Amino acid sequence: MRIRLVHKQALLLVSSVLITVVAMGSLTAWNLRDGFSEYLAGRDIERLEQFADLVAMTAEKYGGVEKMEASGTNLHDLLHEFAKIHGASPIRALKDVLPGKELNAALGFKPPPRPIDSIDAFKDRIAVYHADGHPILGTPALSQSAQTIDRPVTLGNSVVAFVRMAKLKPVPNEVEYRFLAMQYKSTLAVSFLLLVTALMLALWISKQWVKPLIEIQGASELIAKGKLQTRLKTNRTDEIGDAMANINAMASSLEILEKTKRQWLADISHELRTPLTILRGEIDGLIEGVIDYSPTSMNSLREEVLKLNSLVNDLHLLALSDLQVLPCYFEELNLKKLISQIVDRFQRQAATKDIHLNVQFIEIEELQVRWDSRRIDQLVGNLIDNSLRHTDSPGKVFVTVQLKNPFAVSIDINDTAPGASENDLKHLFDPLFRADTSRSKWTGGSGLGLSICQQITNSHHGLLKASHSELGGISMHLELPIDGDATT
């Protein structure tokens, strides 16, 4: 049988409280048992010292011990005054807090064998002596021994007398038992109350913690079954709330990925179907004699095959980038010559669309870079082709190449209107992302060109980002290290 998490948490909290209560109860019981008699003895010595101070004050009042004695002051008067100042003895105070006869009977206690006053008998254990040992007040039979305690009576800096007290008799077991039993019962009652309170709080706290975990478990099961629209509702700001937010983010990402996959399948099927349909039509025309066999018809077939080949190559390139870094063959290249050749290749396409294509080199001179020429040709070529295809006529496309720092080169491609929204700019390099499903906007084609550009940039440890251009269109900013083969 599996124990639920709520029960585990409740047991853990209750066990912690139980251990704490048992430890505190045991320590309290030990202190009470071993310290009870010591407490009474210490309190008795404190009373002796207080009584000695009272005798000193009385002697000073009369002008000396002899005059105090001659005035007729006796031990009874001193004890009466002492009681008014310091109250009852600890034994009598203990009697006041112990249960009465009715409560004793209810609790099953037997009455003590003798009066409690006989245990303390402070008046019978005290006596005052001259400094030479001659008795003044109290019981003369109190001789100095191990069973007595002396405290001096001083006037000024001189010891004029001392007070002697017989040590307190051991507390009878019955009295000690009654006191300790009462304390133990109180401790047990408080411990029971604490445990019950801890159990209730533990169950409540455990349910508060476990409830969102159960929701997370249910949501994860639904997501695993393919219900990607599942979301968790929470206002928590702790770690559990973060976990629930992460579950929602994961579900949202999976849902977007699923939609992207379906869109990708639709796009790829369309891109493949178009050249295949043309090929099939032209081949059928050749077979049926509708189209004459000629170099022109063969060139038309060849163009459609090249389109298919280009699309398959793009798909293969993205597949490689998903599995590992694109394979690159780095070599020493002249930067200005490389970029010039790429731009020159698109001049005819730009002129056909009435778009002015210009390249500018800033402080480049004869800079040598270490790049993969074929990959960089594909990267920069895709960016320029993308700008030419989506810039309205008449328009402009400017390519600017300059040294970013001693270790990197920047290539900026800016074009005129139309532009793209802020949200589209964030997703422009996502595989198969389309700013418009009509295929007439920014990504066009199969939506793979800019994704491939991003992968090539990554393989050269560079940076590629899109932003709004001052010309009204899109600005593509490309940064590449001079040594693209470097791993740092």
Residue 331, pLDDT score: 93
Q: What is the 3-state secondary structure (H, E, C) of 392-447?
A: CCCEEEEEEEEEEECCEEEEEEEEECCCCCHHHHHCCCCCCCCCCCCCCCCCCCCC
Question: Residue 90's pLDDT is what?
Answer: 47
**How many CA atoms within 13 Å lie on the side-chain side of 377?**
15
- Report the pLDDT value the prediction gives residue 240, as an integer from 0 to 100: 79
Q: What is the DSSP letter of 122?
A: G
Tell me which residue has tokens 């007070």. Answer: 163
Dist CA 245 CA 19 (whole Å) = 37
Distance CA 294, CA 286 (A): 10
Residue where the block lists tokens 């002015």: 356
pLDDT of the residue at 94: 46
Would the pTM of this model clear 0.85, i.e. be above it? no
**Total length of the chain:** 488
377-404 b/e with 16+ CB inside 10 Å = b? bbbbbbbbbbbbebbeeebbbbbebebe
Consecutive 10-residue averages of pLDDT for the chain (488 residues): 64 77 76 69 86 88 85 85 71 48 50 45 82 79 71 87 81 63 78 80 74 84 88 81 88 86 75 78 85 82 79 72 72 94 93 94 88 92 91 94 93 92 83 52 56 88 93 94 79
- What domains sit in the chain, N to C, each tagged with a CATH number? 5-191 (no CATH), 239-323 (1.10.287.130), 331-481 (3.30.565.10)
